[in-house]
Chains A and B, each alone.
Chain A
Amino acid sequence: MKGLLLTFVLVAPLAAAGRGVARELDDVARIASVMVDGDACRRIVTLRALEFMFKNDPRDQWVAGDNYEVNDEAFIPVKKTLIRLSHLAPFPCDVNLWMPVAGHPEKVRIVIRNTNELSQFWPWGALYQDMIPSMKQVLETGHRVTVSEKPGWVSVLAPVYDSLGDIVGLVEAVTQQPIDPQGNVK
């Protein structure tokens, strides 16, 4: 109920067109919760990469990034699913995968991004970041949350489940209107 209330509160300021966009993204996110394989998501980032993620070496500032690796046999099918989900929307959008960090409940990390390079939350280049309250809400309650904190941006966050029925991550179905064709080409 709390999650639904939050959804209402965050969507309310949207203009009519924005509400239409939010509804479309909500559909995408709702379907994503069914389609995205949480077990595969858990296998994407290697244990070794996760161990290096929090290593701090003053003499090697790139140690975490240089040791970031993924299992491509898990990454590829999940990414393909995310791309297909993004095609459900009648406008350009991305569906990104986010996951919590085991042992670091106050952190969250993006795991897969997509071709429009859109996210309302990812500071470019971060391997992990402070937990976003709305993401925490999704991970704890399983309710979808719509966020429109940046002007022109709408994200709908929805849970991703594994075969045990546990929430293992979330998707961010996101768009920016108008799209910035030159943005994030770097």
Chain B
Amino acid sequence: MKCLLLMACVPLAAQTSRLEATPEYLRPDPFGGIVAADGGSGGFSNSVKLEGARGGHVSFHLVVKMSRPGPYTLTLRSYPAQFGPQAELFCEWFHLTESNKQYFPDALIPVQQPYHSAMPEPDNRIEKQTAQAFLVDFWIPPDAEPKTFHERAILQAGGETSELNIEISVLPATIPNDDVLLMDHNSYGTSWLADDYPSLSRKLGDGFFRSDEFFRLIHSYHRIFYEHRGIFHQLGYGHAGKVGPEFAPALEGSGRKRHIANWDLYDRHYGPLLDGSAFAGTRRGARPIPFVYLPVNPEWPATFVNWGEPGYETEFVNVVSEMERHFREKGWTGTRFELFFNHKKRYMGFPWDGDEVRFPADNRYLLEYGRLLKKAVPADSPVKFVFRADVSWDMEQQFKDLGGVVNMWVASRDILSWLPRASAMLRERGDVIWFYSGPPAVTEPASTITQFPLEGWMRGVGGFVHWLTVSAGSDPWFHFDGGATALVYSGDRFGIAGPIPSVRLKIQRNAVEELTLLASFAGQKLKEEDLKTEAARLYNHTTPAEWWNRRPAFADKPTYEWSGTALDEAAKPAMRHLEHIDPEAWARVRQYVMRLAAERNGQK
């Protein structure tokens, strides 16, 4: 291991309590082992060596092991902020999964030091628990001094004191602030916030959805993803066109009299996100969110009852023009406002697919909305409107037929895998190209989540979207669904009015930081293709070519003749390399990145 060099384990049989550590990819279980998905055994050490670049993070699992129940105190000394790494300590929650009745650590509860608790952890309620895991997360500021720092974790339990030495080598290299690709975390509406924060919603009652606390809660979700090198999207309308009042200005009138009557909720929701003030005090600084959904759908701002008639165009153009004016006057010019249609025919709201067009006749609706958008927004507006389409079946043809209309694409990973020139073609003409995906469940190896940033970089896209990232199920604490739709958790149980992170989110963040550093090395001496070749080899023993598929014969047929099964088969050759990511996969890539960083410093 490069970044986390674990020293040889020393038997401490005489002690009834001790501290041990594992790399971030080897998740501890509550009984002194490693979760089976990450290897099941080994990996523990009694000291830690970490290595990282400035402007980034390094992390590891710190494990309190106690052979007898009882109280304990854990202490981790922090560095002065102006000199070196800054530590955050999180207690790891062991979730019992419904699918296999195993425990997996994922939710990270921030804890103050010294941390006083007991084994078994009273809140987690695990019978015969002998090990409690903590994630130690070090932030290395961009102005940290490049040198080696020393730290100690101290455990006091049963009259014994155990220590674990931590060595952190800070490299001179600095991770660029702008990531090599954007990691987007999607969600739908806000009703789930009342469910996830019962303390707050009960206290505020009917006023919850209009309260300052509610908007702070929304902003806290943006902040947590931003702090983990990601962004957050909340779609504000349903498949039949219902718009949540906090996602759109209030409208009045119809036909030529339709207009915006009230911006209050919209501005309270989006103002701090669009001027960046919601991110004040974060390590990455206050910046406007780069992308945001508009509430526009076939039923808003123009009502579908007027579709195809002059009133529809008038309502649409007048209201969108008002929005452009408002955004311009507010100076909200750092964000791309997405005209995006999420509806599908199968949800019976509208007669065409906005999301994942399969039947090419539906594209004429997108062309019409493109025309309306151009009519509504002045060509020289400093406000950035983009027309986003999430595409799969018909995407190869849509890239051609909708060029100049749609300019933001969120594409199927599978189909993109047989279109190796598409990303470059789209980016050359100024379009945004991402792919969509979903977070891996906790039951998969911890390193699995690193595949998405790496795949994005290998395929030359500008980002990817995890389609749902805030839905941890009705009881993530004791009856967990696996977390394939959640990368953060509600902090309500722990008295926190906001989300708390996960082990997977930390691993994803660390990976994109290191990938961003790696990509920044591309230049005259190191070609990007060579960097990709080595990263792929180290990651899963592949060549860059193996990340692509052959375009299948059925791709020449009309898309309505394709089958989902054939599509899956066509994507398999490349995707099978990503099916089973071994626990050490990203550690090998990280080691390569750090070696290059050290070499470049030596050359300077």
List the A residue with the shortest CB-CB distance to B242.
Answer: A117
Known contacts: A125-B347, A181-B245. The answer to whether A115 contacts B240 by CB under 8 A is: yes
Q: Can you list 9 residue pairs at the A/B interface with Cβ under 8 Å? A: A60-B568, A76-B308, A79-B350, A113-B347, A116-B242, A117-B241, A125-B347, A181-B245, A182-B189
Q: How far is the CB of B459 from chain A (nearest CB, A)?
A: 24
Chain A interfacial positions (CB closer than 8 Å to B): 57, 59-60, 62-63, 65-72, 75-76, 79-80, 83-84, 110-117, 125, 127, 180-186
- Chain B residue with the shortest CB-CB distance to A60: B564
By beta carbon, the residue of chain B nearest A180 is B191
Residues of A within 8 A of B13 (CB): none
Instruction: Pick the most buried of A66, A75, A125: most chain B CB atoms within 10 A of its CB.
Output: A66
When the two chains form their complex, are residues A75 and B237 in contact, meaning their CB atoms are under 8 A apart? no
Which of under 10, 10 to 19, 20 to 34, or 35 or more describes the interface residues of B?
35 or more
Q: Does B304 contact A (CB under 8 A)?
A: yes
Q: Is B351 a contact partner of A75 (Cβ separation < 8 A)?
A: yes
Do residues A184 and B238 form an inter-chain contact, with CB atoms below 8 A?
A: yes
Q: CB-CB < 8 A to B352: which residues of A?
A: 72
Decide if A59 touches B568 in the complex (CB within 8 Å): yes
Q: In the bound complex, do residue A60 and residue B242 qualify as a contact, i.e. CB atoms below 8 Å apart?
A: no
Given contacts A125-B347, A184-B242, A185-B190, 4 further A-B contacts (CB under 8 A): A59-B568, A182-B189, A182-B244, A185-B235
8 smallest beta-carbon distances between A and B, as pairs: A185-B189, A72-B351, A75-B351, A60-B564, A186-B188, A182-B191, A68-B346, A65-B346
B243 touches A185 (CB 8 A): yes
B568 neighbours in A (Cβ, 8 Å): 59-60
CA of A111 to CA of B352, assembled, Å: 13
* Least CB distance, B360 to chain A, in whole angstroms: 12
A65 to chain B: which residues have CB within 8 Å? Answer: 344, 346
A154 CB to closest chain B CB (Å) equals 18
Known A-B contacts A76-B308, A185-B237; A112 and B303 likewise in contact (beta carbons under 8 Å): no
- Name A127's closest neighbour in chain B (CB-CB): B346
Judge if B209 is at the interface, Cβ distance under 8 Å.
yes
B347 to chain A, nearest CB (A): 7
Give the residues in chain A near B237, CB-CB below 8 Å.
185
Are A115 and B348 in contact (CB-based, < 8 A)?
no
Inter-subunit contact B349/A66 (CB<8 Å): no
Inter-chain contact B209/A186, CB cutoff 8 Å: no
In the complex the two chains form, is B307's CB within 8 Å of A111's CB? no
Convert B550-568 into 0s and 1s, putting 1 for each residue whose CB lies closer than 8 angstroms to a CB of A.
0000000000100111001
Query: Looking at the complex, which one of A57, A79, A127, A182 makes contact with B194 (CB distance below 8 Å)?
Result: A182
B182-202 residues at the A interface, CB under 8 angstroms? 188-191, 194
The reply to whether B299 and A59 form a contact with Cβ atoms under 8 Å apart is no
Are A83 and B304 closer than 8 Å at their CB atoms? yes
Asked if A113 and B240 sit within 8 Å, CB to CB, the answer is: yes
Given A183-B191, A185-B190: A69 in contact with B345 (beta carbons within 8 A): yes
Closest to B191 in A: A182
CB distance from A99 to the nearest CB of B (A): 11
In the complex with contacts A70-B351, A115-B240, A115-B299, A80-B307 CB distance below 8 A: yes
- Which residues in A have their C-beta under 8 angstroms from that of B241? 114-115, 117
Question: What distance in Å separates the Cβ of A169 from its nearest Cβ neighbour in chain B?
Answer: 13
Interface membership of B358, Cβ < 8 A: yes
Q: Given A68-B346, A182-B209, A184-B238, is A79 in contact with B190 using a C-beta cutoff of 8 Å?
A: no
Asked whether any CB of chain A lies closer than 8 Å to the CB of B23, the reply is no
Contact B244 A117 (CB under 8 A): no
A155–B349 alpha-carbon span in the complex (Å): 19
**Residue B359, interface by CB 8 Å:** yes
Which residues in window 322-368 of B have CB below 8 A to A? Answer: 344-352, 358-359
What A residues does B358 contact at CB under 8 A? 66
Nearest CB in chain B: distance from A172 CB, A:
12
The closest CB in chain B to the CB of A78 belongs to B351
Q: How far is the CB of B20 from chain A (nearest CB, A)?
A: 43
CB-based nearest A residue for B300: A115
B305 contacts A by Cβ under 8 Å: yes
CA A127 to CA B345, docked complex, whole Å: 10
